Chain A
Amino acid sequence: MKENGKLEKSIEQLDDRYLLEALEYKKARPSWKTWAALAACICLLLGGGWLAWKMVSADAGNEEMADVKTPKVQKESVQAETTMYVDAHELLAGNEGELSIEVKKQTEEKKTEEPIDETDVTGQEVTITWAYQGIGGEDVSYATVREINRKLKEDGYHFSVRFKQIRLPEGNYMDDETYQEYLFQSDADIAFSGFHSKGDHSVQDAILAGKYEPLDKYLAETTYYAWLPEDLWKSTTYQGQIYFFPNELAQDGGPALYLRKSSFTQEEAESFDGDLFSLEKYFEEGKIFLDASADYDFAETFGYSDYQSVLFTSDGNALNPLEEERCVQWLRLLNEYKAQVTKKVAHNWDFSLSLSFPGTGIGEGNRPEDFYVYQWKGYVIPRLNCQTGILASSKNKREAFQFLRLIRSDASYAKLLLYGKEYLDGTGESRLSFANQLIFGLDTGLTSGQREDGLRHFSSANEKKAYYKEWILASPALSLQNPEVCDEMNVVRDYREQLIYAEDFDEMLKEAKSKTRDPMQKILKELKYWDE
């Protein structure tokens, strides 16, 4: 006996709060969480680098990257006139009308910039299109594109490049899945895989659907694989194949404690032995700034690798952070002092636990040299989002690979894309931004000489590998089949954050444990190692 329609009737009786939530839910907009995540990435980008600078500067000698041969791209001097791609078309989506795929052409500054004309074109036999997710603010100037293409021609390459920004009008942030849909409709060769800051598994789905080209066979033909630590390659490996050039941001540093020199003595700084709980005495004095990223990265200070909101022990065991005593204790402590915890980058904090240096770019008195630093080791974890790969639909895969390798191994090209031609010429502002670094996934080792940018720099591939060997560990999660438990992960992660700000910590912890029980079981069930 089965009574039909029971599920429907039961759903009809759902509590009002679900209906209200559905009624009040607004369409995808750049939420504070999205921007917080992006801001965290910016901090990672800007701050992480400084740490390495501090650590490696003593022995960052003059060893050039000569220990790994500079890849030589076969030069073909076939030149053909093509126009630089400047086009835009609009598509309807959503009830507000226009979504547009825009080639960069509509920014304010374009009005003052000389347009590309036929004489500027260095496009050749092949034109590679590099598509990325626009978030507003990032840009590659025409002058820069023109210069990159001029260099390509001068250096004898048989291809030119154009950049295609996929975004909503007015610079609005585009939903990750929508970006991906548009990306796969486009004619792009090189593609940014998308932010996917909420951790969905769209990139895995796209790989399974054959949208991305495996890079293994191209890498096998070059020496480029040897430029990067092997664990980084593992971070972009899915089902046994490498799909992306790994982005080092957020992979190349663990959390760090920053103590303002004017508020702490050297003795105080040196007496810190890595025990987070010994910081409580400073909480009393109201001297805390908690960076957004530290909400869920503090577990690394306890020696865990945090992946998918699961704590991995060095021997590969997995734990629920809300069942781990020290994690809960730390959250409780932060909650107790939540009035002194802030996510706003400001001048008036005296110490910070953060994945990155939180003071970059906010003025006098917040320079890296104003702080003592204690650093923990970091972990490389699997990451398919925020990466750069080649679309399987590309007709220019080999050229796309050549260009990606070039841009990541030749400093003159990398600097152009990272800072912009105008900055390098001394005629304009640096275009260094989150987007230029994260979206283009450049190797920051190539950009030394611009150290004011706060990026992590290495003067050789070996130096980079030595740094990774000492400071960056391989997460056991690298050996996992990528689990598709993103929704569950978000439930756990949200509670970890809410616990810090809860009015009643114990009540919230009780709720969190109850509500995360099933998601955690699902996550743990899905975590399987490749060799199992």
Chain B
Amino acid sequence: MEDREIVDLFFQRSEDAIAQLTTKYGSLMQRVAYHLLQNPEDAKECVNDACLGTWNAIPPARPAVLSAYVCRITKNLALNRLRRKGAKKRDAALEQSLQELEEIEGALPSAKTVEEAWSERQLTETIERFLDGLDQKNRVMFVKRYWFAQSVESIAKELAMRENSVAVRLSRLREKLREYLEKEGVWL
């Protein structure tokens, strides 16, 4: 079923909407949740919550890209679940990816005032420009690592690459991003 038709079912408050959503994107949502939670049962519960979350959000929302939309809901719910469990329970891959981002942050200049600091929106737009300048494979790798919080091992499997190659590429990407943000004059 087309995304538009599934969204229409949500608008009609048809229970079939959840069934169609699960059929089409259930495994994707499960993957997103599992990458973060590293526990199949937790991931399954998270997907159920995400389906309910989608039911509550549509309408009024009418997402342009349903897959990305449900991924966002699933990720947010998974992160909330992790927060409830406490930082110590967080998955190593997520920890590692956050640490890598923090290293970039650490290398960027500090704003002296609130006004001087870049907003998240400004920063997002700058990162999007950076991503636009990458070739597709690197862009995908970056998003898989830093949005989906996938482990290096998992990315390597999905992209049919060696783990070491993925790790080296990610390291280069971080360095490039740092350089780019510096050049753009980002203050945090």
Contact = CB atoms under 8 A, between A and B. Distances in A.
Interface of A: 1-23, 25, 27-28, 93-96, 175, 177-178, 181, 198, 205, 487-488, 490-491, 494, 515, 518-519
Nearest to B187: A2
Nearest to B113: A1
Contact of A181 (B139, B147, B165): B165
A229 B165 CA distance: 36
8 contacts: A2-B105, A12-B72, A13-B120, A14-B143, A21-B139, A27-B158, A175-B160, A519-B133
Contact of B28 (A4, A17, A23, A27): A23
- Say what secondary structure dominates the interface of chain A: helix
B159 A28 contact: yes
Contacts, number: 144
B144 interface: yes
A488 B123 CA distance: 21
Nearest to B131: A18
A15 B139 CA distance: 13
Given A11-B147, A22-B147, A2 B135 contact: no
B101 interface: yes
B3 to A, nearest CB: 11
B19 interface: no
B92 interface: no
B164 interface: yes
B161 A19 contact: no
Given A177-B161, A177-B162, A178-B160, A16 B105 contact: no
A522 to B, nearest CB: 9
Interface string B155-171: 01111111011001000
B117 A3 contact: yes
A2 B110 contact: yes
A4 B105 contact: yes
Nearest to B32: A23
Interface string B120-160: 11011001110111111111100110111000000011111
Given A3-B117, A175-B160, 6 more contacts: A7-B104, A10-B123, A13-B120, A17-B68, A23-B71, A181-B162
Contacts of B52: none
B73 to A, nearest CB: 12
Contact of A6 (B120, B138, B146): B120
Contact of A28 (B65, B110, B111, B161): B161
B105 A6 contact: yes
Interface of B: 28, 63-65, 67-69, 71-72, 75, 98, 101-102, 104-105, 110-114, 117-118, 120-121, 123-124, 127-129, 131-140, 143-144, 146-148, 156-162, 164-165, 168, 176, 180, 188
A12 B64 contact: no
Nearest to A95: B157
B162 A178 contact: yes
B101 A515 contact: no
Nearest to A25: B140
Contacts of A198: 135
Contacts of A4: 102, 105
Contacts of B104: 7
Given A95-B158, A175-B160, A16 B124 contact: no
Nearest to B114: A1
B133 A515 contact: yes
Nearest to B109: A2
A14 B124 contact: yes
Contacts of A178: 160-162, 165
Contacts of B139: 18, 21-22
B178 to A, nearest CB: 10
B29 to A, nearest CB: 11
A14 B64 contact: no
Interface centre among A9, A12, A490 (most CB of B within 10 A): A12
Contacts of A518: 129, 133, 180
A6 B117 CA distance: 10
Contacts of A20: 65, 67-68
A18 B180 CA distance: 18
A2 B63 CA distance: 34
Interface centre among B63, B104, B136, B162 (most CB of A within 10 A): B162
A19 B111 contact: no
A310 to B, nearest CB: 16
Nearest to A181: B162
B68 A94 contact: no
Contact of B140 (A1, A7, A11, A21): A21
Contacts of B161: 28, 175, 177-178
A15 B128 contact: yes
Given A93-B160, A178-B162, A22 B65 contact: no
Contacts of B71: 19, 23
Contacts of B128: 14-15, 18
Contacts of A175: 159-161
A6 B146 CA distance: 13
A198 B114 CA distance: 43
The 4 A-B residue pairs with the shortest CB-CB distance in the complex, in nearest-first order = A16-B68, A10-B123, A22-B143, A16-B65
Interface centre among B113, B148, B160, B161 (most CB of A within 10 A): B160
Nearest to A18: B143
Nearest to B102: A4
B67 to A, nearest CB: 6
Contact of A10 (B120, B143, B156, B164): B120
B144 A22 contact: yes
A9 B120 contact: yes
A93 B112 CA distance: 49
A175 B165 CA distance: 11
Contact of B127 (A11, A22, A490): A11
A289 B173 CA distance: 39
A456 B134 CA distance: 38
A332 B137 CA distance: 29
B85 to A, nearest CB: 18
Nearest to A8: B101
A517 to B, nearest CB: 9
A1 B112 contact: yes
Contacts of A15: 128
A14 B102 CA distance: 18
A160 B95 CA distance: 53
